[in-house]
Amino acid sequence: MSLELVVAAVMFTGVLAYAVLGGADFGSGFFDLTAGGDRAGAALRTRIDHSIGPVWEANHVWLIFVLVTWWSAFPTAFAAAMDALILPMLLALLGIVLRGSAFAFRKYAGTLGQARFFGVTFAGSSLVTPFFLGATAGAIASGRVSLDGREDVWSSWLTPTSVVGGVVAVGTCVFLAGCFLVADARRGGEEDLAETLRRRTLGVGLVTGLVVLAGLLPLRADAPTLWNGLTGRALPLVLAAFVAGLVTLGLLLVRRYALARLTAVVAVASVVSGWGVGQLPWLLVDEVTVADAAGATATLQGLLMAFGLAAVLVLPPLVYLLRLTQTEQWSRTAP
Amino acid sequence: MLATLAPFLTTLATDGGGAAAEPAGLLPARQQMALSLGWHIVLACFGVALPTIIAVVHWRGAFRGDQGALLLAKRWGKVSAVLFAIGAVSGTVLGFEMGLLWPGLMGTFGDVVGLAFAFEGLSFFVEAIFIGMYLYTWGRIDPRRQFWMLVPMAVSGISGTFFILSVNAWMNAPVGFDIVDGEIVNIDPWAVFTKDQVWMQFLHMWLAAFMVAGFAVAAVYAVGMLRGRRDRHHRLGFMVPFAFATVAALMQPFVGHLLGLRVAEMQPAKLAAFELALETESPSPLRLGGIVVDGEVVGSIDVPVLGSVIARNSFTEPVQGLDTIPPEDQPPVNVVHLAFQTMIGIGSLFVLVVLAFWGARWRGRDLLENRWFLRAVVACAPLSVVALQAGWIATEVGRQPWVVYGVMRTTEAAGDNSGLWWLLGATTIVYTAMTVGAVLVLRSMARRWRAGEEDLPSPYRPEPGDAEAEPAGAVSA
């Protein structure tokens, strides 16, 4: 593998990590929004708070990681994408800002009224953000970003592929969140809550599966390059996503939550990497390849060193934190 | 609130420069950057300094059995959870903005300064992981073990400051590339970290972070003492952050002075604007206050020779005058001069305040009994933020018209998207709302702590004690 490709692969690993870990945080917004009134929803909201509170900031950093790697390694492509996709990027950013701040504010809100307001803001913006990030991905995957010349800031992403990308992103986030929350609820000994979450997650899973399948249809005409990749090189990943999704639904049906968590991650990771592999060798589809977009070689080498350092300094504590939050002792005691 | 000062000042600033053929995205991008950076930098100070300050009280609590200190650590940890959250999101805004507002800068130099951002991102990653652990392990693990989670946070605060300041130092003194026929070649991404400039700027900002966070936390407990709450809790809550602010305030003038000496060689136009030197005078006077109106200095108090002494470390070396610099390369003089002197003035005041306290203590007097001293410390908190903003305005506006000094003008970095005005409007609204939200939440935290509630129960349902609440059985969890 060439140097550029290695850096691009690591960058895409960041996209994957953000989609899975950050995605599960965003998706919990759906369950928060649909938890019911103050009393009925209290248990679920407390569970969500407990579940994503310690990890959302760390999971959020994957986005920063992707952004920074992108502009350092592929600066011109970054500038072009920012230019063409300014609107969905900004709307996603707005969602990120509101989600993070409202979530932190709600935990320490002084009154129920404030908690309600911050809660709705948190939950709503949690769903807005993945939609626009998915739409951004859709625009890149369908060749809407060009290096020169300005695209219209609207038509670059108001396309079938972007809409599919957005909806699929929201669906997968919610599905993932459901799988994690249901497992959390059981570990915490809240079987009633787990039952409610199980039903909702099954529903979300079915709908998301159908959306992903139906979403493939418009790609053939709207994003031919991606379509060729998905039905060619990336086909095994598409099939893996499908199988893992079905297995997850089955595991939820028989209440094997701990396992369902893992297969859900496999399903979502397969969907996302299907996109990545499907659009290779393009960085911006039909416009510039990974190899051509690369910036200075010295910087790429430096980035590899930074990745190595991250693997040593960041991954062990991150894994420790994520494991800690998935233990029974952690789930049982509310702080 | 105070951050809104920054865009106002840059508006003034942009009037001074040549108004020739500016891209439509320039002015809104400047305002946007000033607002979002001015807002974020305040929170960044807490992100950098608070873990270290908390570490001291946590250490006392965990290893010396001081329960009062441990309580402070727990409370400050909760405050930092709120501040870090909005700091994290406002930092993300800046990450996006680098590309959205300055496509010319990032498209051209993204790979020259990229590593610095990458390492800064790494630092932030470490901090985000450990704050999650620290906050959520209270009551779950031994406080002595928990203490060690603060250490990576404090270290990543240092490294994060260093790496982000290395980008700014690079903008002031670009290195690590050559320009051949208009192309950027021979890129050396490591050169960004090796200049002395980086170390000086890092130290300046790192100390500033401790001044802002130290005075802010100390001020909270000073208010408490002014309202008659003079227990040990308040004294300890005051003393620890005040000690940090003291060290930072006493070191800052030396670091600032050394940094200033470099400006004379690196960016003579900036120094001329700092010192309001329209012409080269040998020796140069120190101009206190004053503005330039129609090419004349009005309303300044001139102290002979002192300008040379302070800016050049010499009795004869002059401050190079603005008249030696082509008009198209001059920064807006008045804003830079006033911002610079505001920073210096406030910094000097801080030295007096901390010296007064420790001097009195040395002579056996406790100024915490003195209401005027407490009021002065309360005033130091907003003043430190003003000084912080003024310092950034001085150095950033002082570098104009360049974004990368001597290499790229700010006009070349901006895009031509006039729609950015909408972004500025939306950002102003969102940041105002976030400020209100943070103040509201922090105040209610303090109120509930005073009322004796330590654990701050989950607010998602009516409180158990509420008259209208259902019987406890109705609520699971």
Whether the predicted interface score ipTM is above 0.90: no
Specify whether the CB–CB gap between B173 and B189 falls below 8 A.
Answer: no
Residue B477 predicted with pLDDT over 60: no
Token reading at B209: 């972070």
A308 to chain B, minimum CA–CA distance in Å?
Answer: 11
**Shortest Cα distance, chain B CAs vs residue A243, angstroms:** 33
> Which of A101-115, B10-24, B124-138 is least confident?
B10-24
Is the pLDDT reported for residue A332 higher than 70?
Answer: no
Q: CB–CB of B125 and A335 under 8 A?
A: no
* CB-CB under 8 Å, B189 with A296: yes
What pLDDT does B433 receive?
93
Nearest CA in chain A to B472: A39
Asked if pLDDT for residue A201 goes beyond 80, the answer is: yes
Q: Calculate the average pLDDT of chain B.
A: 85
Neighbours of B345 (CB within 10 A): 16
| Per-residue pLDDT tens over the stretch B29-48 | 888 899 999 999 999 999 99
Given a contact cutoff of 8 angstroms between Cβ atoms, the answer to whether A64 and A101 are in contact is no
Torsion on CA atoms A292, A295, A301, A307, rounded to nearest 10: -90
Q: Cβ(B4)–Cβ(B387) under 8 Å? A: no
Among all chains, which residue has been given the structure tokens 């404090």?
B154
Measured between alpha carbons, how far is residue B80 from residues A28, B25, B152, B153 in Å? 24, 35, 15, 12
Cβ of B109 and A75 within 8 Å? Answer: yes
- Once rounded to an integer, what is the mean pLDDT over residues A93-110? 91
Residue in chain B closest to A109 (alpha carbons) equals: B441
Tokens of residue A137, six digits: 């991905």
Mean pLDDT, to the nearest integer, of B344-351?
A: 94
What are the b/e assignments for B348-381, b being 16+ CB within 10 Å?
Answer: ebbeebbeebeebeeeeeebbeeeebbebbbebb
Beta strands in A150-294 (DSSP E): 282-284, 288-289
Q: Residue range A60-89: average pLDDT?
A: 88
Rounded-to-integer distance, Cα B351 and Cα A7, Å:
49
When comparing pLDDT for B207 and A292, which is higher?
Answer: B207
Assess whether pLDDT exceeds 90 at residue B137. no
Q: Is B114 within 8 Å of A97 when comparing Cβ atoms?
A: no
Q: What is the pLDDT of residues B237-255, one digit of tens each?
A: 999 999 999 999 999 999 9
- B139 contact residues in A (CB cutoff 8 A): 333, 335
Nearest to A110 among B111, B447, B455 (CB): B447
- How far does B195 lie from chain A, in Å, by closest CA? 18
Residue B19 has pLDDT above 50, yes or no: no
d(CA B231, CA B371): 16
Shortest distance, CA B34 to any CA of chain A (angstroms): 18
Cα separations in angstroms, B30 against A68, B365, B397? 21, 49, 10
* Contact state of A317 with B89 under an 8 Å Cβ cutoff: no
pLDDT at B469 over 50: no
Residue B339 pLDDT exceeds 90: yes
Q: Are A282 and A288 in contact (CB under 8 A)?
A: yes
Given pLDDT bands bounded at 50, 70 and 90, which one contains residue A146? confident
Q: What is the pLDDT of residue B2?
A: 41
- Extract the tokens encoding A6: 């290695």
Q: Which residue of B has its CA nearest to A37?
A: B461
* Cis upstream peptide for B174 (omega within 30°): no
Q: How far apart are the first and last CA of chain A?
A: 48
Instruction: Note if the bond before B401 is cis, omega within 30 degrees.
Output: yes
Token duo for residue B432? 């105002």
pLDDT at residue B17 above 80? no
The SS3 call for residue A217 is: helix
